[in-house]
Structure 1
Amino acid sequence: MAPVLIRKASHEAENQYELSLRQAFEALEPQLRPPFCLTIPNQQEYLQLNRAILYGVLCEPHFAEIHIKHLHAKVTDGYCLFVSLLVRIVNDLYVKLVDSATNQLIWLTKQMIDVLAVGFDGLLFCLLRQIVGGDFSDENIWLCSELVRLFLLKWDSLLEGEPFVLNSALYTFLRLLADHYRFSSNAKLDALKQLEIDFCVKMLREQFHLCLKIGRDLVRLLQDLIDVPEFQAIWKDLVLNPKVFKTPGFSDISQLYHLRTSSRYFLLRITPEMESQLRFLLTHVKFGSQMRYQVWFAKKFLLGPERETLIVDIVRFICCGHHPSNEIIQSDVIPRWAVVGWLLTCCRKNYVAANLKLALFYDWLFFEETMDNIMNIEPAMLLMVYSIPKYIVMTHTLLDFLLLLVENYDVDRSDIIMKGVASAFGALVQKGVVRSLEVLTSCKELYPLLKEKLGRFLSVTKVGFPKESQPRSLACHSSPTVSLPTPTPSPERQPKATREHELTRSADACSLLVSTRESHMDSIESLVQNLGETIRNSSTMGLENLEEVLFSLVRLWSQQPVKSSICPEVVSSKIAKEFELNGYKLFPPLEHLPDAPHHDDEIGSATALIIRTFIFSQDEKMQEMLLSWSKNGFPVGARLLSYASRLAQEADMVKNVMVDINFGENSYSGITILTFHVDGYFSFLNGRKGDSSKSIICTSKIDKEFVGMLVDRAFTAYRCFLTYKRTNLHKEADTSLSKLLFSNLRLCSQWEKKRLKFLFGSIFRHLADLSVSGEDIIKLIVSQLDHADLIDMQLEIGLKKYSIFGESTEIVSHLIKNSLCWNCLEQHKLWGLLRSELAVSKVQVEKIILEFFCSRQLDANTDAIAVGGLLALCNSCAPTPELVGTIMLLPNNVFQDFAAAALATWAVSNASMLFDSLSKFSEKFDDKNGHSTSSITAGITINRSAILWLLDHFNAQGTIGFNILTNLSASIQGEKAAEQS
């Protein structure tokens, strides 16, 4: 029996390729032992012999040397056939190979390099593709380590035989090193990182002429490695001293910009299985039916804490490695831009989202129509355009990022960047990808500031476009919903002084995502150290210093979140200490009302700046700072919630105005925190610090949709903080987000009596899943709010602006039951709210009434307020057949006249509907089949007060209710008998 080559589950069918190798081995096994036959095989025999030897080498390590000598003796084609068989093993079977076979595969690859076998470069290429990005399993680290060792060990042979395969290795290990450097260290990974650094530095220093063949994406990969000390020196030489690479003709990094990267490099970072699934999705799956394929793909390839970085490689492949035919483009198959949009929503880490957008726009920056392919830039343009108007936030995010790249990617070579992006826009119009750029420049939904920025760029670059409107087809497309990612601020610029400053300045200018990290960290540490002195000299300057620290930290952490000497907890402690020493405690209770004339801690304070920056960034390290303050007893969550609530309150004031607010003209009072927040947003967006003591008011009109986005983002930030806090502080305890929200609400209710109704209203609007039907929250409302505020809430509930109780009949019934132990005033307030909501909701009032009256024995004192509330609720509802039927069947309990009172009220307010419903109810007692009425009504007891009221009412009306009375005659007779007795 042949040894095992692959792992196979019991339910799996035979792999035909593995079967062909095994059968060849079994058939020729006697011939694979010395002495070997000296006859020359024919073509078919030669194929079978190669298969048998390959199977033998992989499955019999102890005979591997004998098998390889046999191959050397019989080879007639420069090992071409044998290598092609090996390549298929790698592509089709690698993930199934048993461990001993994978070891032999690497050994066999080295043998093929030693003999310079035909096609060994393709074999190495396929092996590199099997290293999975973001996978830190032992198997994957082993493969990566073995291959990087192989490239170092066989350096000379590779240079002699196939030097360009070293380019593929460089591309692969640069990309992997960026992931490995972010991951927490362990012995295996540390050893691997050093091997990767040794190989990549050796390539860049000794064979730079080969590295140039990669093209412009070499720069993109090096950007991710600026934190690795060995690469900082390479960056400085690349930018300022290119002659050190001793490559004829290379004199400036801009020469790399003009070299388009071949699509074969993008295949290196996705496995063959990923490639086949992506190509299937993009060639066979109809637009609108892609969800289950996307979910499957995400579970298969993207599930894991570090797998998210793969998304960047996938986007680069989609843009540059997969160009659909015209037939596919014109069909209903899901377009590339839609898949990219979905992948952008999969990004949870800010730096991954930034790298994805850079990958999406990278060819825009250096686009030359004569050299570059317009298909590389098409997905980004169509994603921006087809997101209008339904998913305008996507358009905002991408266009804003592109314009930031234009301004900041390489300031010293900005003319190249501007020319490239202008050429890209021009080619997209000229080739008919879009009819006109007016789809962006005339878009009403686009932020005014962003539209102005785009118009200025197009005007400066003189990009021409015809005056045509947006194509109608755009309206029928959509893209995945996303929340607004964190804007990427432009890096700070250092003044030119010494040679070292010049090195720092140029390396910084070379990329939006790359900075000389050491100087950046030194600058931040210096700002933090000087914070106390600055505050003592001037409180205004102290706030400006704090904002500069916060902006710098966000840039540092979001662009490349690897290890740094700046610890969030240390920074947070230092900030709190320095402000406290100068008489201000961070996150203090809001003892002063927001309209206090001389003090408003939610605007222009250190606390407000911290909260505002976190809302804009939502960076994980910022969350660590907030958590650190929270651990030390600061009411961080309550202050965050209060800020978001007040922002929502002022946003509502703006929305109630019929025209857009012009902040520059101070045309509307009472929006102080909104003005403060809007100004901060544009400061953050543009990477500048504002005047923290007095908000710089924007001169642009701000539309209501934009204001709504800011409010949504504030509550999203608050939710992020709650989630982070629960994960890190309440790992063991059963603490839900709803409980954390209630804790913050209770604290806020002690501070802000005047704004409480807005606070509660905002959580039901923006945190409905955490607040609606929450018993603790509802009890807090009725205990804290006065009657005037409750009336306002009832009006808003009646207008369906939000819901308090939800649409679960069971939950509402349970709440009513629990409220019976509340004090009288709280119960009365509760029933006012219940009446307002249940009258306009889908909750089945009849079930609530039946549950209340039938679940237990009622008490005249304990249940009186609830019964009164139910009666008022009945009066506010229409007498539907279901509700009237329930009233007619209520048990005869302590509140004897409840049913009659409800019927009497309806008889006045909605008599026609009442008697229609009564007629339908009575039909259940109608003897249509000749059965006795008593048998039909057996077991059914009609409410006594309802029957008596009906008798009195119909007696007064004559025969108008004859049919109803006839059908209910059995019950009526029972009532009369009961009265007589």
Structure 2
Amino acid sequence: MERKISFLASSVKFGNQKRYQDWFQDKYFSTPESHSLRSDLIRFIINVIHPTNDMLCSDIIPRWAIIGWLISSCTNPIASANAKLSLFYDWLFFDPAKDNIMNIEPGILVMYHSIRNHPFVSSTLLDFLCRITKNFYVKHEDKIRMGVYNSLNLILDKQVIPNIQPLFESPKLDRELRNLIRDNFREFLSPGTTVGQPMYPLVHPIQAPILKKEADQRMLHGENVDQLGTGLSNYCGIDTSLVDDEKKLSLMPTDKEIESVFNADNAGNFEKLNKIEENTDDDDDLPLSKVRLKEKPKVELAEAIAESFEAFITKRNSYTWEAFLKDFRPLPASAFEEFQLTYVISNTVLILRETLPQQNIFSESKTEEKLLAKSISYPLFGLFRFLYENDEKSKKPFQSLLSEICEGIPEIGYLFLYFMKTYYKLQTRKNTQQSYQFKTTIYRQICDAVDDKIANCLVRDLDLLEKENTIIYLWILPDIYREFKSITINNTDILRITLRCIDAKNLRDIIYSVAQGKLTIFKQDGLIDCIRESLEFETYEQFCLWQIVQAHDIPLKSIQDLLPELEAGSHSEALSHFLLLLKNEEPTNEIIRLMLSREAKSRGDPFVTSALRFWCQRYEEKLSEIIATLLTSKYPSSSPNKRKRPSKGNFVTSSTPSADQVLNHLEHYRRSCRHGTGTGLYVHDMMQRALQSAYSHSNEVTKKQFSDLFALAAEDDTTAVGRRGGSGRGRKQPVSKKDTNNLSANKKISEIVKTIYSSDENSSEEDWSKSKMAQASKKRKKAINDSD
């Protein structure tokens, strides 16, 4: 970028820079994030690129023209303010004894050369300079004001510009700005407009204007003039006692060259146009639009559009613009020469751009009809209205016009979305019986004009709209989701734009709209992918996301496959919401399988433990059976003495937990149980048999690792056999002595379980494991003897 901007400032002739600027714009300024580059480039040009005497005397594009292009083409208000600050930053504390005049020269030249044909550029810069002098650092306002005064005095002393009155006292400045200049720079105004005494003494005397109008005209057309009355008519030969090597006086460009800096016209097409001599005697009394029309050569156009186009460029309103479009649309490509079409398109884009307000383009009220109608009364919205009423296929010239408008006005996408919302609202109020459509086909035409997919355009336009005005973005959001369902529903990019800008009230309104059926942001199919991508969002954004998901009544089964992927350390927001969803569900084979497929760390998985504990309070037996079935399925070659039950579901999937994972979660759950609370999960018959089967099929390492868990099934053979022998069909058997022994055995198991958990608090893990293993071994021997 440095190499290219240096080439532009050192090798490109003034008037031929358009193609280079367009290329630079497309290469480096095509994204919203690139706005911040402008201020850096301006600082680089001011402080690093200091042209030599030969370059100053040549026709190379001057620095001020490049800077003027960078500032005038900026559309972001914050970036524009930073660009202006970077232009005037050296002025604030300028010391003529130490600082270089080349650092303040571009600022005054941009304003001076723009006031004639581009007063808006000069006005904004002058307004910024007046306000920053007072507000940049209030504590040292006097030092900043002195720095600005020193800058202006040195500029006049070195004759960087011949006179400052044409800038400060121009009739093209509005009254408020002229008063602001008078308050801040009264010392630099002519005696007739100066009020009061100077606030600061003048360090250098102000040079009186010594160029007459005729000499000024010759100067503007590139002729050498004896500017100082010293007989030096050649700028290249000015004595270095007046200006040293890097403080040479810049050549003043012609009006045509100044126009080409800011105009979007193709400079090459001017060769085909008839050159008309410009009469500048009374240009200062004309408005900006008249000046542009006067200096532009007349081009003969087709009779069908000549009158309407002339009316449009003269009146510059929606009515003349729509009349021109009506005449222009049916014309084929054969009706235009290339330079004629270029002439029409370039002027059209320029007028549409200039007639848009710089600020507050949207209505301040979303209900008042007058304000809504006023906000869409600009010519650009006339294009939308024309397309709305004439949506048939267009000829090639009209498509070229639409493409150039879209390229020259990047905001056209979201402005159309705003227009459709407003126009639809106004027309519906006027005629409640007639139905009006939110025509998405027109938006597709705009996307085709910029040669991009509608999904990409929609995301980009909504992003720009949200940055421009969050209130309007949220206002049209339900319509966007309704009209672009296939693109917006489950769209993570649009969702992220929404979540980053909403507060609690906005979230409440979105939930209200979802509850009323006016807004649909999610659907079950594909939601899991959307949530998976949202795991990288900020915490507040994720909490808002889950609130909106809950408002849609999305069933758990549509997102439960995400459970094994969530990590305790990284996805706290998702795990918290999943846990709340699980509390309202009954345990099922599928949910338990997915939960136990989660990786258990050394300290366990609190998510699984929490879910198992609150389910044990209501569905203890069902939960025990599901986990026991899952654990038994891991050991297909079970004991021949036990009949294997058929599984209730197919567990052979990608998220099927291993035997170690199931045992791990059961072990950590066991450790979470204190004083026997929640231990009923292990008492049921199926769990006892599952643990015993796991023990018999495990290797020594696994037996040692889960010795405490296996100890809970120590007397399972006795109890299980007793229970199977006591169960049968028909009349209930009277309680015998053997059944009494079985009941006492069940109580004994519970007492053993309680003993194991209570001892877990009073002894270390290693000693506890050794004692329980010995106890379990003795009980197995006793059980074998009893069965014999």
TM-score range (shorter-chain normalised) is 0.3 to 0.5
> Which of the pair has more CA radius of gyration?
2
Q: TM-score by structure 1 length? A: 0.31
Q: TM-score by structure 2 length? A: 0.36
